């Protein structure tokens, strides 16, 4: 639902019946919806409600909303002290990691915050902080979280961050090719790689068990 200043309101419905199952969640902004593993709620991007008489909510925040609870009770899980930041949250398939991509609007470069949702007190930490390269979440497998990045490869490559190591080493999985790697996504043990083509993107699918991270 559109609100002033490109702000959105989120409505949740039961896809089996079409009936609404939640209250309106106002002041979301430029957001994806990342459902928790237990489906009791979701993570979204937005801002705090604006002061009286204003329609500007700000932004740069990520909240967790519990279904059936009021928006005022939503838990803030990430905030930024950088102006103009936009955040998108996604959850790894095993439900362990919340991966938050933060970027300055229109810049194309990003930082990555990770939150271990299985920790006793989940808290964000920056895996990539420079806002100097493009980082795009592509999936996960155990301790490895995959990203498409132009870090060390101007046409893009697929890398993995090893979260089992305290220094979070970056491991190359698919090196840079002649075409620009635009995106990648892991589904059912298959990594689909989308490359820029002369007239249309080219999709290459590779079995995960044939990929080695080094």
Average pLDDT per 10 consecutive residues for the chain, totaling 214 residues: 50 73 71 88 80 56 90 88 81 95 82 95 92 94 96 96 94 95 94 88 90 79
CB 186 within 8 A of CB 139: yes
pTM: 0.84
pLDDT of residue 179: 93
Calculate the CA 198 to chain-centre distance.
Answer: 29
pLDDT of residue 2: 40
pLDDT of residue 145: 97
CB 158 within 8 A of CB 173: yes
CB 76 within 8 A of CB 65: no
């Amino acid at each position: 639902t559109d609100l002033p200043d490109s702000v959105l309101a989120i409505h949740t419905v039961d896809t089996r019946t079409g009936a609404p199952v939640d209250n309106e969640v106002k002041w979301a902004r430029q957001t994806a919806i990342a459902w928790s593993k237990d489906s009791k709620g979701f993570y979204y991007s937005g801002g705090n409600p604006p002061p009286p008489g204003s329609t500007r909510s700000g932004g740069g925040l990520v909240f967790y909303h519990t279904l059936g609870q009021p928006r005022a009770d939503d838990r803030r899980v990430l905030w930024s002290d950088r102006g103009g930041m936009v955040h998108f949250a996604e959850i790894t398939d095993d439900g362990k990691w919340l991966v938050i991509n933060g970027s300055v609007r229109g810049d194309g470069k990003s930082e990555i915050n990770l939150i271990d949702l299985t920790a006793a007190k989940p808290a964000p930490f920056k895996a990539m902080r420079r806002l100097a390269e493009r980082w795009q979440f592509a999936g996960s497998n155990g301790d490895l979280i995959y990203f498409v990045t132009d870090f060390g490869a101007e046409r893009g490559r697929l890398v993995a961050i090893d979260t089992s190591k305290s220094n979070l080493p970056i491991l190359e999985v698919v090196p840079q090719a002649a075409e620009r790697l635009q995106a990648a996504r892991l589904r059912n043990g298959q990594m689909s790689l989308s490359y820029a083509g002369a007239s249309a993107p080219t999709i290459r699918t590779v079995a995960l068990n044939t990929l080695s991270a080094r």
